[in-house]
């Protein structure tokens, strides 16, 4: 069976009613195991508790009971991917990564094929992995590096070209992919000038970024910062409300300190980007 049983991927979109989703799966045996199995009711409780703590709101549920994690052609998973492609999902929460797919290659393929194009972060609650954070992105890159280098035939050539292009862009100092951080805009030019390649600072959003860092340094909680921004009518990076997780994403983004790190097929490339720096690094503060 193909690793891409859900049809043609759509372009990024987001509906007005979009919200967070939780995906639940119990193994085919229906019994607890050492592979991250837990009753569906337990998974649901843990995921909603996390969503409440992060101010994400009520989760929309998708589930597959007594289903094999090695088979990606599941009814609940099909419905989830359809909702993601329609722009109805802002965050995807799972109990553990292997609830989404037990085979590493299929997990990575699902993430790259459906979640990344729609900018939907994957959050594994019990493993403390959030792909919107640098650590979470590094985990996914590590999973890619450990995955069988032969991807599905339909995606092989496109993936090879994409990674080669990312390597070239990162080495040249240009923006090399991923979601453009809040506070920046792409420079639409065939010949970007000097060190300002591809990205520029957005002045209004930069003031919001500096405010977030100032409030955090004053001791404000993530939830309090999000509340303050919402009270002032400031739109989040995705155009909606701010949540604790959204604030955490801003605070953890290294681009604001004037550098960016890419890992391409095991090679780490660090770019110095002083023209994009908004926040003094801890070393500069000391």
Give me the domain span that covers residue 77.
Answer: 19-148
Tokens in use for 58?
Answer: 């009520």
Task: Verify that 131 and 191 share a domain, yes or no.
Answer: no
156 falls within a domain = no
For helices 222-231 and 244-251, give the axis angle rounded to 10 degrees.
Answer: 110
Please state, in angstroms and rounded to a whole number, the distance separating the CA atoms of residues 52 and 36: 22
Query: Whole-prediction pTM value?
Result: 0.55
167 falls within a domain = no
160 falls within a domain = no
Please state, in angstroms and rounded to a whole number, the distance separating the CA atoms of residues 144 and 108: 7
Question: If pLDDT is split at 50, 70 and 90, which confidence band does 33 have?
Answer: very low
pLDDT digits (tens, 9 = 90+) for 53-104: 988 889 999 999 988 888 877 889 999 998 998 889 999 999 999 999 988 8
Task: Verify that 262 and 144 share a domain, yes or no.
Answer: no
12 falls within a domain = no
Q: Kindly report which listed range (1-5, 15-19, 138-142) carries the lowest average pLDDT score.
A: 1-5
As a whole number, mean pLDDT of residues 102-118 equals 88
Please state, in angstroms and rounded to a whole number, the distance separating the CA atoms of residues 270 and 8: 34
| Percent of the chain's residues with pLDDT above 70 | 72
Task: Please answer whether residues 138 and 163 qualify as being in contact, where contact means their C-beta atoms are separated by less than 8 angstroms.
Answer: no
Task: Verify that 45 and 85 share a domain, yes or no.
Answer: yes
Task: Verify that 117 and 218 share a domain, yes or no.
Answer: no
**CATH number of the structural domain spanning residue 102:** 3.40.50.1390
What is the total count of domains within the chain? 2
pLDDT digits (tens, 9 = 90+) for 134-193: 888 888 888 887 765 544 444 555 556 656 665 666 666 566 556 688 998 877 654 444
């Amino acid at each position: 069976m193909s690793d891409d049983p859900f049809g043609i991927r759509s372009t990024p979109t987001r509906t007005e009613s979009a919200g967070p989703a939780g995906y639940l799966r119990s193994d085919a045996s229906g019994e607890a195991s050492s592979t991250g199995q837990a009753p569906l009711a337990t998974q649901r409780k843990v995921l909603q508790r996390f969503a409440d703590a992060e101010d994400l709101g009520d989760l929309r549920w998708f589930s597959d009971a007594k289903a094999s994690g090695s088979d990606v052609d599941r009814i609940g998973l099909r419905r989830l991917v359809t909702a993601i492609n329609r722009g109805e999902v802002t965050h995807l929460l799972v109990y553990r990564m292997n609830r989404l797919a037990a085979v590493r290659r299929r997990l990575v393929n699902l993430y790259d094929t459906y979640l990344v194009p729609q900018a939907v972060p994957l959050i594994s609650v019990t493993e403390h992995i959030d792909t919107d954070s640098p650590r979470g992105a590094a985990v996914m890159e590590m999973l890619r590096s450990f995955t069988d280098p032969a991807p599905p035939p339909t995606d092989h050539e496109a993936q090879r070209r994409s990674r080669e292009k990312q390597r070239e862009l990162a080495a040249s100092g240009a923006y090399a992919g991923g979601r453009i951080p809040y506070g920046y805009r792409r420079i639409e030019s065939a010949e970007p000038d000097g060190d300002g390649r591809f990205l520029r600072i957005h002045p209004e959003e930069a003031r919001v970024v500096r405010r977030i860092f100032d409030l955090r340094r004053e001791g404000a909680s993530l939830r309090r910062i999000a509340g303050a921004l919402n009270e002032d009518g400031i739109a989040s990076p995705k155009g909606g409300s701010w949540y604790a997780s959204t604030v955490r994403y801003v605070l953890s983004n290294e681009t604001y300190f004037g550098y960016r790190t890419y890992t391409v097929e095991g090679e780490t490339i660090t770019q110095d980007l002083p023209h994009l720096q908004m926040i003094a690094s801890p070393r500069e503060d000391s």
